[in-house]
Amino acid sequence: MIAVHQLSKTFNPEDGAVLDGLSFELPAGETLAVIGPSGCGKTTLLYILAGLSAASAGKVNIGGRRGRGHTAFILQDFGLFPWKTAAQNIALALELKGANAASRHKVAETLLTELGLEGLGQRYPVQLSGGQKQRVAIARALATEPDLILMDEPFSSLDALTREHLQNTMVDMWQRKGLGYIIVTHSVEEAVFLGRRIAVLTDRPTRVKALIDNPSFGTADLRFKNCFFDRIREVRRVMEG
């Protein structure tokens, strides 16, 4: 379970607050899509949730199996290290924990297969397509056995088809492993497809404008159903109004 309470962040006092008393809650294993105007502080929010930067005020609670929950972070373009092969990137978390080569190899192979990347383990990121790279990034996140995955516009530079494939993959992971995620996106369609809840943020100073319930998210052929488009319209109205 994730609880964000009155979270604020100010970089420079003269620029005013970026995040200004942001609050929301998310039950364990649920998924959240965050959508809001560009520059409103979505990346900043994820950095704070990932523990990479400190909040100016407020509280963040990420429950996990053991104490504070462990998060994995997937960035848009710079997630993978170009000097490591796909398999090395995936197994990096294990390497950092001191796992031996054999177990690293096993985990990397399993995850490569799981994400449809058989035979690509020895390639360097530059030798992979954009979609393949993000699959490797997902695999690397999974290898850390996180309680929560944080994604910052992970699919926005991909073509429409690849992007939908990867959205399906995320839902698939969620269904099979009960693994919750928070995805920041600027696409309303993506938010409606991937978020059990959709948090619409205001412009700076940023608060949660609305937390929309979206129980039908991620179901098969949702993209062809009327309720999908109804929900998209609803989110649009909230964003504009």
**Could you list the residues that contact other proteins (CB under 8 A)?**
47, 50-52, 71-73, 75, 77-79, 81-85, 92-93, 96, 123-124, 126-131, 144, 157
75 interface partner picked from ligand ADP, other proteins, Mg ion, none, CB below 5 to 8 A per type = other proteins
40 interface partner picked from Mg ion, ligand ADP, other proteins, none, CB below 5 to 8 A per type = ligand ADP
Q: Which of residues 66-105 bind ligand ADP (CB under 6 A)?
A: none
Binds ligand ADP (CB under 6 A): choice among 10, 43, 162, 168:
43
Burial class (CB in 10 A: 0-12, 13-18, 19+), 210: middle
Which residue, 26 or 148, has its beta carbon nearer to other proteins? 148
Q: Do 206 and 40 touch, CB atoms closer than 8 A? A: yes
Which residue, 36 or 180, has its beta carbon nearer to Mg ion? 36
Q: How many residues bind ligand ADP (CB under 6 A)?
A: 9
Binds Mg ion (CB under 5 A): choice among 24, 28, 29, 43:
43
Binds ligand ADP (CB under 6 A): choice among 18, 32, 87, 150:
18
Gyration radius from the chain CA atoms: 18
Alpha carbon distance 10, 152 (integer Å): 20
Q: Which of 23, 8, 142, 1 is nearest to 69 (CA)?
A: 1
CA torsion through residues 36, 41, 43, 46, sign: negative
Which residue, 72 or 235, has its beta carbon nearer to other proteins? 72
- Tell me the helix, strand and coil percentages in the chain, rounded to 5: 40, 25, 35
Per CB under 6 A, residues contacting ligand ADP are 11, 18, 38-44
